[in-house]
Structure 1
Amino acid sequence: MKRLKALLLNLTCIAATAQADSIVWLSAEFPPMSMTQGPHANQGYINSLFAYLQQALPQHRFTESVVPWPRAMHMAEQGGPYCLLAAFKTPEREAFLRFSKPYGHVLPLGVVISQEQIERVKPYLDPAGHVQLERLFKDPQMRPGIASGRSYGSLIDDLLKTTHDTAHSGFARVHQGESTSALFNMLDRRRIDYTFSYPNEMVYFAASHQLLRFYPIAGSNQLLPGRLSCTRSTETDRVFAELSHVLEGQGHQAVFQASYERWLPAYLLEHYRHQLAQLPAE
Structure 2
Amino acid sequence: MKDRVIIPVLRDFLLSYNNPMKKTLMALLVCMTTYSQTINWLNFNYPPIYITSGPNKGLGFGDKHQNMLEDCLEQYTHKKAQALSFARIRAFLESKKGNHCIAALGGFPNEISNSFYSSTVFTIPTSFIVTRRDVLKKLKLENDAISLSQLMNNKELKGAHVKGGTYGEAVSRILNTSQSQLLMKTDPDPIKFYKMLLRKRFDYALDYPIGLMYNIRALTQEQREKIAFVLIKENQQTPYINAYAICNKAPGSERIINRINQCMKREVHNEKLRGEILKYIPDQMKETIDKINRL
Aligned partners of 2:46 and 2:189 also within 8 Å: no
Cα distance in 1 between the residues matched to 2:151 and 2:219 = 27
Deviation per residue, 1:154-188 (Å, 9 max, x gap): 64466566573xxxxx76x3533367444422432
Cα distance in 2 between the residues matched to 1:216 and 1:54 = 36
1:248 maps to 2:273: no
Unpaired runs of at least 5, structure 1: 1-11, 165-169
CA drift at 1:238: 4.0
1:214 maps to 2:229: yes
CA drift at 1:260: 2.5
Aligned partners of 2:129 and 2:232 also within 8 Å: yes
Query: What's the TM-score once normalised by structure 2's chain length?
Result: 0.69
Q: 2:21 is matched with which residue?
A: none
Q: 1:201 to 1:244 in 2, by over 3 A?
A: same
Aligned partners of 1:107 and 1:272 also within 8 Å: no
- Cα RMSD (Å): 3.6
Q: 2:29 is matched with which residue?
A: none
Query: What's the TM-score once normalised by structure 1's chain length?
Result: 0.72
Cα distance in 1 between the residues matched to 2:284 and 2:158 = 28
Structure 2 counterparts to residues 159-174 of structure 1, below 5 A:
162=178, 164=180, 173=183
Aligned partners of 2:92 and 2:248 also within 8 Å: no
Deviation per residue, 1:224-258 (Å, 9 max, x gap): 11111233334335433322112223333332232
Aligned partners of 1:104 and 1:253 also within 8 Å: no
Query: 1:39 is aligned with what amino acid?
Result: P
CA drift at 1:101: 0.6
Q: 1:41 to 1:18 in 2, by over 3 A?
A: farther
Match of 2:284 among 254, 270, 274: 270
1:75 maps to 2:86: no
Structure 2 counterparts to residues 32-181 of structure 1, below 5 A:
32-68=48-84, 69-76=86-93, 77-87=95-105, 88-91=107-110, 93-95=112-114, 97-115=115-133, 121=139, 123-126=140-143, 129-134=144-149, 136-137=151-152, 143-147=157-161, 149-150=163-164, 152=167, 155-156=170-171, 162=178, 164=180, 173=183, 175-177=185-187, 180-181=190-191
Percent of aligned pairs with the same residue?
16
Cα distance in 1 between the residues matched to 2:184 and 2:89 = 22
Aligned partners of 2:163 and 2:184 also within 8 Å: no
Aligned partners of 2:162 and 2:188 also within 8 Å: no
Cα distance in 2 between the residues matched to 1:111 and 1:146 = 10
CA drift at 1:89: 4.6
Deviation per residue, 1:65-90 (Å, 9 max, x gap): 22523333323313312222244455
Q: 1:4 is matched with which residue?
A: none
Aligned partners of 1:26 and 1:82 also within 8 Å: yes
- 1:216 is paired with a residue whose SS is strand
Q: 1:108 to 1:83 in 2, by over 3 A?
A: same
Aligned partners of 1:24 and 1:63 also within 8 Å: yes
Q: 1:201 is matched with which residue?
A: 211
CA drift at 1:276: 5.7
Cα distance in 2 between the residues matched to 1:236 and 1:159 = 31
Q: How many residues align?
A: 256
- 2:81 is paired with a residue whose SS is strand
Q: 2:26 is matched with which residue?
A: none
Deviation per residue, 1:134-172 (Å, 9 max, x gap): 45456655x2321474455564466566573xxxxx76x
Unpaired runs of at least 5, structure 2: 10-35
Aligned partners of 1:133 and 1:217 also within 8 Å: yes
- 1:38 is paired with a residue whose SS is coil
Q: 1:188 is matched with which residue?
A: 198
Query: 1:84 is aligned with what amino acid?
Result: I
Aligned partners of 1:200 and 1:263 also within 8 Å: yes
Q: 1:261 is matched with which residue?
A: 278
- 1:84 is paired with a residue whose SS is strand
